Structure 1
Amino acid sequence: MAAGVGVAAAPAALADATPFAHGVASGDPLPDGVLLWTRVTPTPQARPGTGVGPDVAVRWEVSLDETFTAVVAEGAAHTGAPRDHTVKVDVTGLEPATWYWYRFRYGASASPVGRTRTAPAIGAVVDRLRFGVVSCSNWQAGHFAAYRHLAERDDLDLVVHLGDYLYEYGVPSDGSAVRPHDPAVEMTTLAHYRRRHAQYKTDPYLAALHARVPFVATWDDHESANDAWSGGAENHTEPDEGTWEQRRAASQQAYAEWMPVRYEPGGHLYRRLTFGNLAELSMLDLRTYRSEQVSHPFDRGIHDPERTIAGETQLRWLTDGLVTATAQWKLVGNSVMISPVRFPSTLSTREFHALAELLGPIEGVPYNVDQWDGYTSDRATVFRALRDHGVRDTVFLTGDIHSGWACELPADPLTYPLNRNSVGTELVCTSVTSDNLDDLLGVPPRTASLAVESAIRLANPHVRYLDFDSHGYSVLEVSPSAVQMDWYTLHDRTDPASEARHSVSYRVAAGTQRVTRTREALR
């Protein structure tokens, strides 16, 4: 489907060519409905972020066939400059587990045709689900060939995007950007965030994937600013960049406008989707409510029960949902790693500096304090709920860390694996384009990273798989017998035509709480 899509034209040229320059998308499928999205450019002046342009009505249609001879729902949505001319329609009254096609109309113009799928009915017997899993797609670091490969598949029910859908950075002065951001400055204002979202939506491969299957997305930090927390961010400076409250509000408003998610400012992004009797998917927001990261991993604050990564309300919602779930598999869309990771003292200073840039302020000691390792009380609450209630078949799906991991979640890391009491598992996808360890070290892939990976696995026996070098995507299959993730790696992230190859597969058999390697990729 996406094979014939060419390199994206400039956003300005696209806006002049069609009112629907930013494509179509769908998301958050329910058994009886799905969210549809587009953006209309009613006049040449009404470009993203300008805050100008007329209020308009946009027609929408949903059909059982691609030619729209079997329209089952239609209507009109109103939009204008206050929401940057984006359109979100929450369509209801649809049939469960059904493919639909949809489009928008403005005047004599029609949008591209999108395809979407509703979730299975609550409690329905489901034999299989198959998801694309992606994270960390930095426009400036490469092309989105990973999205192209996913769009060319015909076996996906949806795509789970685990955060860093876009990046806040300005264009580097050293000319290292594969393709420069728009605007060229670091985004800090509502106009900046809107323009950056608009630019990413012009990527042809991301557009093809959005038009192919529904997304279920959450944000991490780069949708606002690096290492964001409830009261600020590492990459935010007051007063030069305004207050954090203003910047965060701008980023969240643009996200609500431009992403196919059931979220509006003032609400909450964390939510749970159910897929028959087979799986529940709980998507977390681990930035909005978190306490500030500690300054170093020796800080006793990492164990302070008053510090939180999820916030009290969301943490209770998560644990209650895991304990009371009626579906077999409890999947958690998790933007930062929950597995405990101790970094070995055998690494060189250069390797530690590269890891610190990749993972956060580890400073050569046990913890990456930006992930759950920096908030051990919250993690203990989750693990304790799983252990004490005998919850089985919990799998955390994670992004953020620009590397591939398959981990067991030890109830007691210090005695693992002698005491193999695992409360769940974690599968971490690689980055789509964002820098990995070999990029930061400036060495060929699968060279210097091999020693680092071996040292980390030795220090963390619950880590069964680790790849610090690859860019690409993952495919996850959920069945009654197992959850399996296949990792696919790109040959060259800077090449829009890059090939991808199957790298490795790991499987979680039902009831085991273990990850094991399998030679068979999903068919």
Structure 2
Amino acid sequence: MSSLRSRRFFLQLLMFGGGAAALAACGGTSSSSIPPLGEPGFPQGVFAGDPTSEGAVLSTRVIPASATDTVAVTLQVAENSEFNPISQQVSLTARRVAGRNYRTEPGDYIARAVVTGLRPAQRYFYRFVSEGFTSPVGQFRTLPAPGDGRPIRFLHISCANEPPFPIGAAMLAEVSRGDIDFISFNGDTVYADRFWLGLDPIGNLEFYRSLYRDQRDPNYAGREFAQLFGRTSFVVNWDDHEVIDNYSGQKARGGRATQLNDTTGQTRDVEDLKVLGYQAFFEYNPITPNLTDVAGVDSRDRLFRSFRYGANAEVFILDLRQYRDLAAVTPILPILPPGLTRQRFLELAGIRLTPEQETLFFGPPGSEQALFNLLRRTPRTLLGNPQKQWLFNGLRNSTATYKFIVSEFPITVTYFRSNDVWEGYWLERQEVIDFIESNNIRNVVFLTGNNHAGFIGQVNPGSSNPIWEVWTGPTGRSVTALSIDELGNQLGIPNASRLYYRIVNGFLAPVNPTNPQVSGIPGVTTGNLRFLELAVPNYNVIEVSGSRCTIQIKGPTGSVLTDPLGRRGELNLPQ
């Protein structure tokens, strides 16, 4: 199983190897997916999402007593768990087959309601009733009103790989304290390609739906993690694994996009898998429907959105998959930091590579400028223009003290495997940073997933208007250190994760003349790293109180992590 986990990285290298010579030279939904009927009732429990100051989206999945196209469901909402009195009661219909808009008329017997008219900053309880069965009772909190300056607190997680999920118990303890307003679930919420098992996505709707049923199954995700869905609300985003690893939403120029599955080596049609993955995602996640304020965007599949969170916070959720251009195909380290050559890098790392390995790591000899032009000078978009203008307008007009941008993957420069993230879309990355700085938009924090690691750093080192980034994850057991060690074993590099940690720290940590162990490399480092943990599953706790913001990176015990160089996983703002 371990070799399967790292095979995905190895196959990505082979993908680049196939195109290396050229680089050097150039200077509908399936309605027939009928879910099997099980025991009548509510097998996945209940789930709430996208809370506002006056409501939330509430959802469940019901199994009827007999096969039927529709089943009547009643939603009840109250301010106490006895439901006395009932604040709202809503009649719903759960469908076997989705309607034309699976966001408002989901299939698979999902029942959903957008509840409004509730009181701000109030805990509510909800349940569903159908055919004599009553669901488990769920609960959520409405957000504070826009002018309310009370303290706010939420969790941030990502990358639910390789279950059961080690951080479930610690997160449930956080939620049980009663002061968590919601959980931001930032991408890779399920894994259609299940790389730790060496499996390929199955091209039917029932398979993609089953991923979300597993996510809520205590025998799969772990008892504590499965309980979270009924204990608070979720603000959910996707990344790539909800469809297939590293896909780009836009079609290839002149045809349909295909994608190599990095685990199995099989090429799949992304357009087919995307249709299935999108429908299952929107059916099982309670996300605000009918977002129609941005022209030129299909509201059925639109995911980017924002929430005002009291007086002091606004949260912007980005979609960096659906509207992006295809990523460039590059080696592991396509661009080295200024002042560092390939030979000097290998000397500092203390490793020797064969010519073939060196090509896979850096590209063929003489390709440095071509790779630089490919990644840093070639226009590509992650956001698409409508989403980009929406983000700029939202940031410009926000009066919240803190602006949190939920980004599926890092915007901080890390150099390694940079083609699929913001670094691979460099011109647009710089446009976003320049917009924030030139408009003097203060207290912007990126909350990021994808990298299976915990990280704190400044996106724009040296700027008088610092933009901060904090990574979370993984939720599951497949951490970056484990994958790198297994890849290193395949390439004959012992203790590869320690070496990788030392290199990243050298590239990014501040220079510390009195402690070379923690210091970045003089003349090379960007100096923006504050914390880095590659070996422990983790989650973020974000708290805003007045003008102060604290973000902590916590591990499976619920304690704030300390990284291997003794740095505490905590960011306190302003600094």
Same fold (TM over 0.5): yes
Q: Deviations over 1:220-266 (max 9, x none)?
A: 000111001122464469xx877432321111111110012124773
In 2, Cα distance between the equivalents of 1:263 and 1:306? 32
Partner of 1:355: none
Q: Which moved more, 1:308-317 or 1:421-430?
A: 421-430
RMSD between aligned alpha carbons? 2.5
In 2, Cα distance between the equivalents of 1:41 and 1:263? 24
Q: Which moved more, 1:468-477 or 1:128-137?
A: 468-477
Q: Which amino acid aligns with 1:404?
A: G
Q: Deviations over 1:292-334 (max 9, x none)?
A: 1101141523234641011111111112211211111000111
- Runs (5+) with no aligned partner, structure 2: 1-35, 98-106, 252-256, 291-298, 335-370, 490-494, 509-526, 562-567
Partner of 2:385: 312
1:301 to 369, 374, 377: 374
User: Does 1:473 find its partner at 2:499?
Assistant: no
Alignment partner of 1:277: what SS? Answer: coil
1:150 to 171, 182, 188: 171
Partner of 1:488: 554
Partner of 2:158: 135
Instruction: Quickly say closer, same or farther: Cα 1:217–1:329, change in 2 above 3 A.
Output: same
2:61 to 39, 52, 55: 39
- Preserved contact between residue 431 and residue 471 of structure 1 (Cα < 8 Å): yes
Q: Which amino acid aligns with 2:149?
A: V
User: Does 1:507 find its partner at 2:571?
Assistant: yes
- Runs (5+) with no aligned partner, structure 1: 1-13, 46-52, 344-361, 363-367, 411-415, 491-498, 513-523
Structure showing greater Rg: 2
Partner of 2:300: 266
1:218 to 237, 241, 247: 237
- Preserved contact between residue 23 and residue 207 of structure 1 (Cα < 8 Å): no
Q: Which amino acid aligns with 1:149?
A: A
Partner of 1:520: none
Structure that is richer in strand per residue: 1
Map 1:1-40 to 2 at 5 A. Answer: 16-40=38-62
Q: How many Å apart are 1:433 and its aligned residue?
A: 1.0
Q: Which amino acid aligns with 1:283?
A: I
- Preserved contact between residue 15 and residue 21 of structure 1 (Cα < 8 Å): no
Partner of 1:464: 530
Aligned length: 437
Map 1:274-423 to 2 at 5 A. Answer: 274-296=308-330, 297=334, 298=371, 300-304=373-377, 306-343=379-416, 362=417, 368-410=418-460, 416=461, 419-423=462-466
Alignment partner of 1:197: what SS? Answer: helix
Q: Which amino acid aligns with 1:383?
A: I
Q: Deviations over 1:180-217 (max 9, x none)?
A: 9xxx7523321211122222222333331111111111
- Preserved contact between residue 338 and residue 371 of structure 1 (Cα < 8 Å): yes
Q: Which moved more, 1:92-101 or 1:196-205?
A: 196-205
Partner of 1:244: 270
Q: Which amino acid aligns with 2:444?
A: T
- Preserved contact between residue 164 and residue 221 of structure 1 (Cα < 8 Å): yes
User: Does 1:78 find its partner at 2:121?
Assistant: no
Alignment partner of 1:229: what SS? Answer: coil
Partner of 1:109: 133
Q: How many Å apart are 1:396 and its aligned residue?
A: 0.5
Alignment partner of 2:230: what SS? Answer: helix
Alignment partner of 1:57: what SS? Answer: strand
User: Does 1:430 find its partner at 2:473?
Assistant: yes
Q: How many Å apart are 1:488 and its aligned residue?
A: 2.0
TM-score (norm 2): 0.72
Alignment partner of 1:89: what SS? Answer: strand
Instruction: Quickly say closer, same or farther: Cα 1:341–1:38, change in 2 above 3 A.
Output: same
Instruction: Quickly say closer, same or farther: Cα 1:87–1:327, change in 2 above 3 A.
Output: same
Partner of 2:294: none
Partner of 2:187: 163
- Identity over the aligned pairs, expressed in percent? 27
Q: Which amino acid aligns with 1:37?
A: S
Partner of 1:49: none
In 2, Cα distance between the equivalents of 1:55 and 1:287? 33
Q: Deviations over 1:399-419 (max 9, x none)?
A: 000001101011xxxxx5xx4
Q: How many Å apart are 1:473 and its aligned residue?
A: 1.9
TM-score (norm 1): 0.78
Instruction: Quickly say closer, same or farther: Cα 1:242–1:169, change in 2 above 3 A.
Output: closer
Instruction: Quickly say closer, same or farther: Cα 1:375–1:293, change in 2 above 3 A.
Output: same
Q: Which moved more, 1:242-251 or 1:315-324?
A: 242-251
Partner of 1:346: none
In 2, Cα distance between the equivalents of 1:294 and 1:196? 29
User: Does 1:58 find its partner at 2:84?
Assistant: no
- Preserved contact between residue 475 and residue 487 of structure 1 (Cα < 8 Å): yes
Structure that is richer in helix per residue: 2
